[in-house]
Amino acid sequence: MFKTTIASIMMLALVFTLSTSVNAQESEDYNMWQSMMFTPDYTQLKTLGENMRKHNETYHKEGPYKATVYNITTGPNAGKMIWQMGSMMLKHNDGRPGADGHDADWRDNIMPYIKKIHTIEYWSQDDKKSNVSMLTGPEVKYPILYIRYFEVSDDHDYTMDQVFQQVSKTVKSMDGENPWGLYYNAFLQGDLGRHIATVGFMKNWAEMDEDRNFKEAYEKLYGENSWDTFLDTLDDTFSNRWDEIWVYNKNLSGD
């Protein structure tokens, strides 16, 4: 069982904008990832794995087109997989791999072994609020992603920025490394409600059993007895929230 404190930090401080201008408005550069969720053909996993690894190593090895694959291990999408490309900007779609056999390889060697593609989304990182400097480098240091999706309430969307600003300041005030990212969905999702996601990056599952003292750090910043008010604001701001755990699949990624 998770401890109460770790459940609280993951609920608050846990891959995505209501429009891409959130990050782009202050800078010409921003960090975005294309994310495709799909259900593999479970009877052909070996072939899919071999073909996808070869495809990613050939066409998605580095730069904005670098591919990373995750297995979804919890939640309503457990058993599905994520094929992710980036970090990138929308303009990079104009030069993405297509010629030199890429499209034919994807058509002939990947798609026949995928039962269904569920979503293709673009998630833009809030670089100011996120705490991700420790993630830099070619190797994947944190292979487990604790993701929480948020559906923003129509009546209280004005409190959204305040909520994540407080979470961000609290995470950054805590001792040690606490990698955490905030992401906005770039395009409207209708009834899917996948407006925002937070990501807690972890080295192993055991970290979820640790007491991070998020509540204590929050009240140190915002005053004694501020925690209950914060939880109430969360309930007002978001009409729905749910979690997923993604586990990095090194064998299938473009590494």
**Where do the domains of the chain lie?**
4-248
The per-residue pLDDT for range 204-223, each reduced to its tens digit, is: 999 999 988 999 999 999 99
Residue 190: per-residue pLDDT: 78
Average pLDDT over residues 94-99: 89
Burial 124-142 (b: 16+ CB within 10 A, else e): bbbbebbbbeeeeeeeeeb
Check whether 189 has a pLDDT greater than 80: no
The per-residue pLDDT for range 132-182, each reduced to its tens digit, is: 999 998 889 999 999 999 999 988 889 999 999 999 999 999 999 999 999
pTM, 2 dp: 0.89
Average pLDDT over residues 32-50: 97
Check whether 24 has a pLDDT greater than 60: no
- Show the 3-state SS of the chain: CCCHHHHHHHHHHCCCCCCCHHHHCCCCCCCEEEEEEEEECHHHHHHHHHHHHHHHHHHCCCHHHCEEEEEECCCCCCCCEEEEEEEECHHHHHHCCCCCCHHHHHHHHCHHHEEEEEEEEEEEECCCCCECHHHCCCCCCCCEEEEEEEEECCCCHHHHHHHHHHHHHHHHHCCCCCCEEEEEECCCCHHHCCCEEEEEEECCHHHHHCCCCHHHHHHHHHCCCCHHHHHHHHHHHEEEEEEEEEEECCCCCCC
Q: How confident is the model at residue 200 (pLDDT cuts 50, 70, 90)?
A: very high
Residue 39: per-residue pLDDT: 98
Average pLDDT over residues 239-249: 96
Which residue type is seen at 215?
K
Q: For the chain, give the mean pLDDT.
A: 89
Which CATH code for domain 4-248? 3.30.70.100
Residue 255: per-residue pLDDT: 76
Residue 27: per-residue pLDDT: 56
Average pLDDT over residues 122-135: 97
